[in-house]
Structure 1
Amino acid sequence: MTSGISVLCVDDDPDIRALTTTALERTGEEFTVVTAGCGRDALSRLTERDRIDCVVSDYDMPGMDGLELLDAVRDRDPELPFILFTGKGSEEIASDAISAGVTDYLQKGSGMDQYTVLTNRIENAVDRHRTSRAQRRSERELERYRTLVESNTDPMYVLDSNGICTVANEAFCRLVETDREAVVGTHISDLISRDGLERGAKTVRQLRQGNSTSTRYEVSLGRDDNRWVGEANLAMVTDEDGNMTGSTAVIRDITERKRRERELTQYEEVVELAPISLFILGPDATIEWFNDEFAEAFAEDADELHGMRFPELVDRGYYDDHVIEKYNDQVRELLSSSTDLQRAEYHIRFQAPDGEERIHDVHTKLLPLEDGSFAGTIHAIRDITKRRRYERELEHQNDRLEEFAGVVSHDLRNPLNVAQGNLELHADECPVETDTKMGSVEQIRHSLDRMDDLIEELLSLARHGQRVGELGPVDLPRLVQQSWNAVDTTGATLACSVDATISADEGRVRALLENLFRNAVEHGSAGSDLESGREEGHIGTDVTVTVDLLENDGSTSGFYVADDGTGFETDPEKLFEFGHTTTSDGTGLGLAIVDGIAAAHGWTASARESRSGGARFEISGVRVLEE
């Protein structure tokens, strides 16, 4: 029986109203009956807050008959149960009532049995009305849920107790790259990866055991070429008795979050492994974070350092007092800067726990501002004590080399010049020009010339060594021609095919090219010494020197200098050794200078046989700015 039914009884006869009320309330124990003597009173009753489940009305009433009242009620509520209970029934009235949308039609009779029938008709009408209303409400709720599911960009699905997919939104269908018609009715094992299936099954077991009503787990989804990581939130689907009939899951794409987590972990590992000290100061100069390298520099343990204000490290003697002033100046400068990419760099002195004073190179950068307010700074510290010591030692060595160069230039070259001058005077004053005399003079002259070459190249090594100045763009074809013109290349031919601009120290590269050209024309004669009629080491008249670019995987990686002479008489790997020479009058320094200049630029010098059988010297690792 339908419970809690409120009935509005409308009849112009007060005795009939009273009888009907008594009979209904007696027959239907859950009935509550309110009455109205006319149609207007009935409509007023319907406007009150008290709920009316059914209207029972007479037909023949003054002012507004039952059908007119039905029309007025239908205007307000098209579905409210309305039973026409009249003593003046006819087929015409019944037909008109049905056409007007009456719920039921019952003609009054004699006896109390008619009220039993009326009670039954009311209960059936109200029950059908409530069922219909509940079904429509469920359909509206279902439609709202369906709209929420379909409009959700996160994949969602529902499984029955056997793991068969019964509901899936469009996002899930796109994820598994399958049409909805194919997804619904398919077992979940055919839709997601093995690891996702195993984790899902484990979660379902936990739900069945009552350990949880909802739980989350990670799952890998998608094809191999489009795989992503999802976070599945799985919950039980239960019946009215609380028995599990299936499960439902919503999957959130966390691929980007996991990528960022991995990236963060990698950064943390890099920071911890970095051979530099890193630390963060808050807006009040409190040490908020630091890596192991920073902590190892102090006698205090990490727990004590964390939360300590940086000025306390000054008080403990690790830093000078002026460090705080320098820090404040740098922060003010950074805050006044127009770009947040600027950073400050400065040097400070650090007193280590072992008593040794060290020099630190500090790089400071602002943390992102919080609501426009200063949030603190991040610092990177490198210990440059050894570098500073090395720089001082290098400066001292350079001073000594410069002093040595001066001694060589003055104390050796001056006596050499005197010897050369006296030799020429002796040759001119000697009246007899015998073969013996001329041979001795030439031998002395040759030895003095070789000593002069040795002094010149020793000075070059002493003054320049393997150092290079400031790098800049160098027009390589122009420099090749200038270097060629600076060398005695009588009779030799230059074939230059380079057209590139490189990053280099122009003066040092000029010295490199001059040495390579001198080596080519002096040692690369195509004919033998006897055939050419020249002494060993003299310039050949038929050598061609080629300069061109090196190619590596389709890109320029350097340049080479090659000749078409007689090639190498020794192992090419030994050519760059200091003092190594293949001729009796060679210094063995020219190619050593080439190797040193190349190394100072970060390049590599190597030798091999050219295509024509001559010598080829390659300079690789060159940075080409423009071709």
Structure 2
Amino acid sequence: MSGTIRVLHVDDDDALLELTKTMLEREGEDITVESAHSGSQALSCLRENGRVDCIVSDYEMPDRDGLELLETVRESHPDLPFVLFTGKGSEAIASRALSAGATEYLQKGAGTDQYAVLANRIENAVAKRRAERERTHSQNRFQALIEHSSDLVAILDEDGVFEYASPATRDILGFDPEVLIGEPSFDFVHPDDQADVADAFDRMIEDPDATPSVSYRLQHDDGEWRHMESRGTNRLDDPAIEGFVVNTRDVTQRVEAEQRLSEEQELFDAALDALPHVFYVANLDGSGWRWNRKLEDVSGYSAAELRDIEIEEIFAAEDVEKVESVIEQVLDGETVTYEARMHTKTGEFDLRRISASLLTDDDGEPIGICGIGVGIDEDDE
């Protein structure tokens, strides 16, 4: 194992203290030993130096025995490894030691082999404690992240039933988390979205490495449907979870904004298509960006064709230079009205009076050229 192991050895025999220190530090590469001659001195060392990973204590000592020391240590250090290492052995003492919370009970013997055993017991006990502390730290950190996350974090069983729901449930769905425990999660999903959600859930079951995401509607406590995005992870094999972890974010505002934008776009397109004249918005280089249906009808080109068409193709050859000059004038901030012949897909020419002006953003930066083209034979409608 890695990391220094700081052992506090307590014994009233000076010779044994020195021998144990020498042997433990020899047997365990990472072990360092501090010695104390009595239980009281050991407690002082523990108070002054909290960096102790394990206590090894004799049983019979003048001021207090090893079990009394153990009981005192457990009041402030309930999980600190404590090995009762004593020459006075009996089943009664061993039972009392383990009942009082001793980590190990080891009887002293002749020879030096006992120190290899003692070093091994110390290393195992410290490794176990450190692992448990790291696991607890990770769990507490994970729990804190969940508790303070704005996303709803849920754990579902193999049937999609809620086993856990984070506090964000209140903000997102209006429910207390406890209300969801034991309830089938699919019951809260909009009927039209249940197939998509079930499909994503099945993918997690079939492929434990899959992390599918799905957009759907979930019912709020007030009866309204909220738009959600969820991503799930199969953690059935994780002993700490044994379920499916689902992270859910409320995207209702975004979806509603997108819907409003889409509706406004449809209205804008409908208004442009209702114009009796050609309307267009071109990029700064004159290539097509947006236009109304009238341009497609007049030119005979499809939307896909107009998107890639060059100026030389849409205007008569004799007018191309004029059009390019107009573009330069518009880029200088002028509004220009001119006449030019549109070259239709059928090879005919359509004479138009075109008014072009610069299109800018909120900061006044140029973003395009817009214009309207009236057919000469349309009597300037």
- The alignment's TM-score, normalised by the length of structure 2, stands at 0.68
- Which residue of the partner structure matches residue 19 of structure 2? 17
Mind listing any 5+ residue stretches in structure 2 that lack a counterpart? 89-106
Q: Residue 377 of structure 2 aligns with which residue?
A: 385
Is 1:193 the counterpart of 2:193 in the alignment? no
2:230 matched to which residue of 1? 232
Question: Structure 2: how far apart are the matches of 1:309 and 1:369?
Answer: 29
With 4-13 and 373-382 compared, the bigger mean Cα shift is at 4-13
How far 1:168 moved relative to its partner? Answer: 1.1
Deviation at 1:169, TM superposition (A): 1.9
The Cα shift of 1:230 comes to 1.4
Q: Distance in 2 between matches of 1:151 and 1:9?
A: 40
Question: What residue in structure 1 maps to residue 56 of structure 2?
Answer: 83
Match of 1:94 in 2: 65
Question: Could you tell me which residue of structure 2 aligns to residue 564 of structure 1?
Answer: none
Contact 1:7-1:33 within 8 A present in 2 as well: no
Write out per-residue CA displacement over residues 434-487 of structure 1, whole angstroms, 9 at most, x where no aligned residue.
Answer: xxxxxxxxxxxxxxxxxxxxxxxxxxxxxxxxxxxxxxxxxxxxxxxxxxxxxx
* Contact 1:280/1:290 (8 A) holds in 2: yes
**SS of residue matched to 2:57:** strand
- For residue 366 of structure 1, the aligned residue among 354, 359, 363 is 359
Larger CA Rg, structure 1 vs 2: 1
Structure 1 212/298 Cα, relative in aligned 2: closer, same or farther at 3 Å?
farther
Matches within 5 A, 1:352-363: 352-353=343-344, 355=348, 357-362=350-355
CA contact (8 A) 1:188 1:197 kept: no
Matched, 1:375 2:367: yes
Aligned to 1:294: 295
Amino acid at match of 2:200: T
- Write the distance in 2 (CA, Å) between the matches of 1:19 and 1:357: 104
- 8 Å contact from structure 2 (residues 219, 226) kept in 1: yes
Partner of 1:156: 153
Partner of 1:221, secondary structure, is strand
Residue 33 in structure 1 maps to residue 33 in structure 2: no
- Aligned counterpart, 1:274: 273
SS at match of 2:169: helix
The residue type paired with residue 229 of structure 2 is: E
Q: How does 1:351-500 map to 2 (within 5 A)?
A: 351-353=342-344, 355=348, 357-362=350-355, 364-368=357-361, 374-383=366-375, 385-388=377-380
* Structure 2 residue identity aligned to 1:297: V
Counterpart among 195, 208, 214 of residue 217 in structure 1: 214
Over 3 Å counting, the alpha-carbon distance change for 1:155 and 1:195 in structure 2 is farther
In structure 1, distance between residues paired with 2:313 and 2:50: 81
Q: Which residue of 2 aligns with 1:106?
A: 85
What corresponds to 2:317 in structure 1?
A: 316
When residues 387 and 328 of structure 1 are mapped into structure 2, their CA distance, relative to the original with a 3 A threshold, is same
Kept in 2: contact 1:280–1:377 (CA 8 A):
yes
Shift of 1:274: 0.8
Tell whether the 8 Å contact from 2:280 to 2:372 is kept in structure 1 after alignment.
Answer: yes
Aligned to 2:203: 206
What secondary structure does 2:298 align onto? Answer: coil
SS at match of 1:306: helix
- Residue 219 of structure 1 deviates from its aligned partner by 1.3
Q: Which residue of 2 aligns with 1:328?
A: 328
Task: Give the equivalent residue in structure 2 for 1:247.
Answer: 244
Residues 387 and 202 of structure 1, relative CA distance in 2, 3 Å threshold: same
* Superposition pairs of residues 94-173 of structure 1, within 5 angstroms: 94=65, 97-98=69-70, 99=72, 103-107=82-86, 112=109, 123-124=120-121, 126-173=123-170
Displacement of 1:138 in angstroms is: 2.7
Identity across matched positions, percent: 16
Q: Does residue 1:348 correspond to 2:347, yes or no?
A: no
User: Are the equivalent residues in 1 in contact too, given 2:286–2:311 (CA < 8 A)?
Assistant: yes
Deviations 1:298-325 (A, max 9, x none): 47676664345546655624x4744444
| 1:539-571 superposed Cα distances (whole Å, 9 cap, x missing partner) | xxxxxxxxxxxxxxxxxxxxxxxxxxxxxxxxx
Distance in 2 separating the partners of 1:349 and 1:200 = 56
Higher RCO (CA-CA < 8 Å; seq separation 6+): 2
Q: Which residue identity does 1:360 align to in structure 2?
A: R
- TM-superposition CA deviations, 1:393-416 (whole Å, max 9, x none): xxxxxxxxxxxxxxxxxxxxxxxx
- Whether the 8 Å contact between 2:316 and 2:343 is mirrored in structure 1 is no
Partners of 2:256 and 2:118 lie apart in 1 by 68
SS where residue 143 of structure 2 aligns? helix
Is the CA contact 2:7–2:56 (under 8 Å) kept in the aligned structure 1? Answer: no
Q: For residues 214-242 of structure 1, what are the alpha-carbon distances to aligned partners after superposition, in whole Å with 9 as ceiling and x for unaligned?
A: 11112112258632221221221222499
Letter in 2 for 1:94: D
Structure 1 position 177 matched with structure 2 position 162: no
SS in 1 for 2:63: helix
Q: Summarize the Cα distance change of 1:206–1:117 in structure 2 as closer, same or farther, 3 Å threshold.
A: same
Aligned equivalents of 2:167, 2:239: Cα separation in 1: 31
Give the distance between the partners of 1:8 and 1:193, measured in 2 at CA. Answer: 61
The one-letter code of the counterpart of 1:77 is G
Question: AA paired with 1:80?
Answer: D
Question: Amino acid of the residue matched to residue 214 of structure 1?
Answer: T
The aligned amino acid for 2:341 is: F
After superposition, give the CA deviation of every residue in 1:270-297 in whole Å (9 maximum; x if it has no partner): 6378145443332333334545543443
The change in CA–CA distance for 1:300 and 1:140 in structure 2 (over 3 A counts) is same
1:279·1:291 contact (CA, 8 Å) conserved in 2? yes
Cα deviation digits, residues 102-161 of structure 1 (max 9, x gap): 934434589845867666665555544443433333333223222322322232211122
SS of structure 1 residue aligned to 2:269: helix
In the other structure, the counterpart of 1:285 is 286
8 Å CA contact 2:340, 2:354 repeated in 1: no
Report the Cα offset of residue 373 of structure 1.
5.0
Once the two structures are TM-superposed, the CA of residue 366 in structure 1 deviates from its matched residue by: 1.1
For the residues of structure 1 that align with 2:310 and 2:206, how far apart are their CA atoms?
53
Distance 1:309-1:279 versus aligned 2 partners, 3 A rule: same
* 178 and 253 in structure 1: CA distance in 2 versus 1, 3 angstrom threshold: closer
Distance 2:367 2:33 in 1: 77
The letter of the residue matching 2:288 is I
- In the superposition, relative to structure 1, how do residues 76 and 18 fare at CA in structure 2: closer, same or farther (>3 Å)? closer
* Contact 2:165-2:180 within 8 A present in 1 as well: yes
